[in-house]
């Protein structure tokens, strides 16, 4: 989502014709707001749009850009911004491979990794470890609302693609439901999850269930590693579980017996209306505080949660 938002803003610059720096920044701000309003959960989008706008400001303030602007031909400056934006995206797209290399070192021979959420970054880390010949096992927690596939070469959602790929590389994978998570903790070495957003205090916003998974791991004294690209670092400081700038109905209280309730997944997640036209199947999320996280693995290295604020300062100031 962050990269998709950034790419859309680059396309906007390509097909628009702002004639001044002020018009350019106003254009990006207006459309960034429109993108965020179209989503029930704008956290990942906010991380991408805010970071890109900051990058554009830094580029405009560079000596080279200042010299170009002084010529009075802003079209050249705009073309330079588009080129710089494309280079920014290219570097961001390489981040997953760098994280796979760094995170793969955490997976040692004989270890058992528990994961959930079908994170592409986690998948890349585990693939990298398997390709290096590390002998490890994986416990994958599948959401109870997602049907499992009996096909050995399944590549659909719900983690089936990750499971099939790892098994194809010779990695033993056990697929369990959420209710078996606590039972399995005695067999695992670490928990590894991805994130939609990494907030200022080092906590994460991720798929619903990550919080309880981290709580269980903490109680069992198992390390919890979060793997996420730095473009998911967002200037947000939630004070608690219900302090996120999103609209979702996980607790759907009802007082009538004739109210429909299929009992599958979080109640009411499809009932609440958005202000925009986001996807109808957006999954609910929760907030995992930093005290439950052992370390964050980004393309910039392995960080303790408190180091996120320092990374944001480097980006923004």
Distance CA 60, CA 65 (A): 5
Among candidate residues 157, 156, 158, 154, the one with its CA nearest the CA of residue 167: 154
Quote the CA–CA distance of 121 and 46 in Å, as a whole number.
19
pLDDT value of position 273: 39
pTM: 0.80
- Residue 40 CA to residue 24 CA, distance in Å, equals 27
Low-confidence ranges of the chain (pLDDT < 70): 62-73, 144-159, 258-282, 315-317
User: pLDDT value at position 68?
Assistant: 53
Please list, in sequence order, all residues whose beta carbon lies within 8 angstroms of the beta carbon of residue 246, skipping any fewer than 6 positions away: 40, 41, 42, 43, 285
Q: State residue 310's pLDDT score.
A: 79
Whether the CB-CB separation of 284 and 210 falls below 8 Å is answered with: no
Which percentage of the chain shows pLDDT scores above 70? Answer: 82
What are the tokens at 239?
A: 């004070």
Structure tokens, 101? 């290399």
In 3D, which of 128, 136, 121 has the Cα closest to residue 297? Answer: 121
């Amino acid at each position: 989502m962050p990269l998709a938002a950034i790419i859309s803003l680059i396309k906007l610059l390509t097909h628009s014709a702002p004639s001044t720096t002020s018009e350019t920044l106003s254009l990006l701000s207006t459309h960034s707001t429109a993108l965020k309003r179209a989503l029930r959960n704008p956290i990942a989008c906010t991380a991408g749009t805010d970071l890109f706008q900051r990058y554009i400001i830094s580029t405009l303030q560079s000596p080279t850009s200042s010299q170009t602007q002084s010529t009075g031909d802003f079209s050249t400056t705009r073309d330079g911004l588009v080129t710089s934006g494309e280079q920014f995206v290219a570097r961001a797209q390489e981040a997953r491979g760098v994280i796979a290399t760094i995170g793969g070192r955490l997976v040692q021979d004989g270890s058992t990794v528990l994961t959930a959420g079908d994170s592409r970054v986690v998948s890349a880390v585990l693939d990298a470890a398997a390709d290096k010949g590390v002998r490890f096992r994986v416990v994958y927690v599948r959401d109870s609302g997602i049907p499992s596939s009996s096909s050995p070469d399944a590549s659909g959602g719900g983690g089936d693609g990750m499971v099939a790929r790892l098994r194809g590389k010779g990695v033993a994978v056990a697929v369990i439901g959420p209710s078996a998570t606590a039972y399995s903790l005695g067999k695992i070495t670490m928990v590894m999850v991805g994130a939609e957003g990494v907030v200022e205090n080092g906590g994460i916003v991720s798929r619903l269930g990550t919080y309880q998974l981290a709580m269980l791991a903490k109680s069992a004294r198992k390390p919890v590693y979060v793997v996420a690209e730095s473009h998911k670092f967002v200037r947000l400081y939630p004070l608690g579980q219900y302090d996120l700038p999103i609209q979702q109905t996980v607790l759907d209280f009802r007082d009538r017996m004739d109210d429909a309730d299929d009992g599958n997944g979080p109640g009411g997640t499809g009932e609440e209306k958005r202000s925009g036209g986001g996807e109808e199947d957006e999954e609910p999320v929760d907030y995992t505080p930093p005290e439950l996280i052992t370390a964050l693995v980004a393309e910039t290295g392995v960080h303790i949660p408190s180091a996120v604020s320092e990374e944001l300062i480097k980006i923004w100031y």
